[in-house]
Amino acid sequence: MRRTVFVLLFFAFLSCENKPAQSTRLIYPEEVHFASLKQITFGGDNAEAYWSFDDQQIIFQSNNAQWGVGCDQLFLMPREAEYSTSQPPMVSTGQGRTTCAYFLPDNQHFVYASTHEGGQDCPEAPLRKEGKYVWPIYSTYDIYQADPSGTIVKKLTDTPGYDAEATVSPQGDKIVFTSDRSGDLELYTMDLDGSNVQQITNELGYDGGAFFSPDGSQIIFRASRPKTEEEIATYKALLTEGLVQPTEMELFICNADGSDLRQLTFLGNANWSPFFHPSGKKILFSSNFEAERGFPFNLYLIDTDGKNLTRVTHGETFDAFPVFSNDGKYLLFSSNRNNGGGRDTNLFMAEWKE
């Protein structure tokens, strides 16, 4: 799952302000791909920020208590906005917990997952199971289509169990999402109206966080692959409790129909939140493979053939959830930088350069 809550767990229209853009002081000297960088949220945990197809709007999830929410809800902002003391409009129901909002091609609707039909309160978020770090897989998550007023116009999934992590092809014709309807956490695709559901992965382990390539022909995702009898038993036992352990994940790539599946990274630790570079020939992702104590997480680039791994960010805490604008000029990501040494995870917008 790609939820802002685990940003902290890894470490144990609109009222906007016209603040001066922040730039070089936020960029570490080694971060040569950032021509400029500005912070656009200022408090709480903010992540899963995605562009509208015309790159004019950003939708994201936040648990900022100053915005009156107890757990992740969805907020909408124009691309030039910055929020410190003011609040963007909330476009989810304000009930339950939400995750993974993604615009549809008309720029007037988006899809997202929510637990609100399973209860108005925030569901519990277990942090550890028998001393090990876990993520909850809420069985009450379903995927909905809504408009910028927050009105839900259609429910796209209606099967028992977990349906979430939906993203949309840049070609505007398909949605990829994660579901446990088969008894395991696999990837599925469907048409924009929720029809023509197709299972595209079928190997034991948690498959999630999937994104299409710019031409819609490929999908990149993260996955756990338990191998030993003990690992398999642990994975299955946790799944029956609605939990997974995300500490060992690698990146996998396949065609949009699931064919030609292959493992892309062999780095160890947690490799996740992958996103295609605008060229379609590289993947930008977050990893702690160089860390000895679980952090820091930094952003890395790797070719789609697994070669030329390079480090992009050089923080000492957490950089993740990288997403390129559709025109390839800007990058959104979440970071703990510039938070005064606290735990806030904010959104940053970088002007990208090769």
| Cα 349 to Cα 145: distance, rounded to the nearest angstrom | 26
Instruction: State the average pLDDT over residues 161-181.
Output: 98
Domain boundaries, the chain: 5-352
Q: What is the pTM of this model?
A: 0.93
Confidence of residue 341 (pLDDT cuts 50, 70, 90): confident
Query: Per this entry, what is the length of the chain?
Result: 354
| Of residues 274, 336, 332, the one with CA closest to residue 301 | 274
pLDDT digits (tens, 9 = 90+) for 126-137: 877 777 889 999
Tell me how far apart the alpha carbons of residues 208 and 222 are, in angstroms, rounded to a whole number.
6
Residue 83 burial by CB count (10 A; 0-12/13-18/19+): exposed, middle or buried? buried
pLDDT value for 24: 55
pLDDT of 80 reads 86
Choices 1.10.579.10, 3.40.50.2300, 1.20.1330.10, 2.120.10.30: CATH for 5-352: 2.120.10.30
More confident residue, 97 or 86: 97
10 Å CB burial of residue 74 (0-12, 13-18, 19+) is: buried
Mind listing the pLDDT tens digit for each residue in 275-292?
Answer: 999 999 999 999 999 998
